[in-house]
Structure 1
Amino acid sequence: MYIYLLKDIDKHYINQATFKMSNSDQSMYLLESEKELKIDVFTEEEKVYEVIDGTFTIKSDCFAVFNNIPVTIDGRSQFEQRFQKRARKIEDEPGFLAIRVCRPLNSDTYVVLTCWEKESDFKNWQTSTSYQHAHKKRGTSTGIDKQQPQIFPRPSFVETYTISSIKLN
């Protein structure tokens, strides 16, 4: 499965799961496809990802959190192994809708995309025991963020969006 984050969308993608994402700074389109699409030109902010892990279906009218995590080329396998071994407790959280762990195909920044019924559900998860369990090694000598050689060339950052459905004419 592939995810495309695009500034503009063409009607010939109408058979794909396509959503409009917006926040106070920008609007983009999220396109999810079972197969890799032939998109020739990307702007700097447009991205394409291969989904390496995911559960449930992305739906419109939800709150989406994009955890953007830059990873060195040498650190990719270690980073991906970490997510393949994740506890999968987030799936049981109230308001949780979907997750996608996305390998970048045209950048060095992975995306962990989670979708929630509403923003308060995401914030509640951040104070939950499942969140604490998922991040219990962060900042410790056994945490991936402290191991050497360092696999994170820059700090991660979070973006949030409201996802809505679109109709392509």
Structure 2
Amino acid sequence: MNLYTTSGTPEFMEKVREKHSGEDMVLLHGAGNSLLLHETEGKTVFQTPKRYEVIGASGPLAKHGYYIVNNIPVTDEGRPIFEHRFQNRANMVDGQPGFLTFRLLRPIKDDTYRVVTAWESKDHYELWKGSQAFKSAHDRKEQTPPAEKTQHIFSAASYITEYETEKPEDEKI
């Protein structure tokens, strides 16, 4: 399975989604731009997409909800280690209150992996962040074998982007 993204103004992204209504797409709105996700076994309809291979998944792409995208730049040498770590915690969000979607995305042409989760609301995401399951999933000391502790697998600092499937009230026409 592949997942493709493209970004632009909310109006343009909506037109692209409407033009390809038969495709599995989700339109997300964030600070300053909108992001369109296209999940497919085949080729994308986007002209200039970012391309990812889905290497971990839980749940369908949620059509409504609060999305978190954790952007994690990883060195070429660090890819196997990074993917192994995520395989060990792949299902830790399953069953959490308000959890809808998980995707672990391996980049095709760049170094930034994307960890995508969708929640019923921002409040549900905040509850997850305060949970013991979250602490366990993010406790690197417990999960990192001694041989990996000296390896630098990240090429830059990670960052989180937040999106909603509904436009903020001040952007609605």
TM-score by length of 2: 0.81
Question: 1:26 aligns to what?
Answer: 33
- Superposed CA offset, 1:33-75 (max 9, x none): 123x156852xxx411100010111121210000000000111
**For 2:128, what is the secondary structure of its paired residue?**
helix
Contact 1:87–1:134 (CA<8 Å) still a contact in 2? no
Please, which runs of 5 or more residues in structure 1 have no aligned partner? 165-169
Distance 1:57 1:148, change over 3 A: same
Report how far residue 143 of structure 1 moved.
Answer: 7.1
> Which amino acid is the alignment partner of residue 156 of structure 1?
S
Question: 1:59 aligns to what?
Answer: 62
Distance 1:126 1:40, change over 3 A: closer
Alignment of 1:5-20 (within 5 A): 5-7=5-7, 8=13, 9=16, 13-20=20-27
> Which amino acid is the alignment partner of residue 150 of structure 1?
H
Alignment of 1:6-155 (within 5 A): 6-7=6-7, 8=13, 9=16, 13-35=20-42, 37=43, 41-42=47-48, 46-86=49-89, 88-137=91-140, 142=144, 147-155=149-157
> Which amino acid is the alignment partner of residue 35 of structure 2?
M
Report how far residue 2 of structure 1 moved.
Answer: 1.0
**Structure 1 residue ranges, 4+ long, deviating more than 6 angstroms after superposition:** none
**For 1:52, what is the secondary structure of its paired residue?**
strand
Distance 1:136 1:54, change over 3 A: same
| Root-mean-square deviation over aligned CA pairs | 2.4
Question: 1:156 aligns to what?
Answer: 158
- The number of residue pairs the alignment matches comes to 158
Please, which runs of 5 or more residues in structure 2 have no aligned partner? 8-12, 167-173
Report how far residue 102 of structure 1 moved.
Answer: 0.3
**For 1:80, what is the secondary structure of its paired residue?**
helix
TM-score by length of 1: 0.83
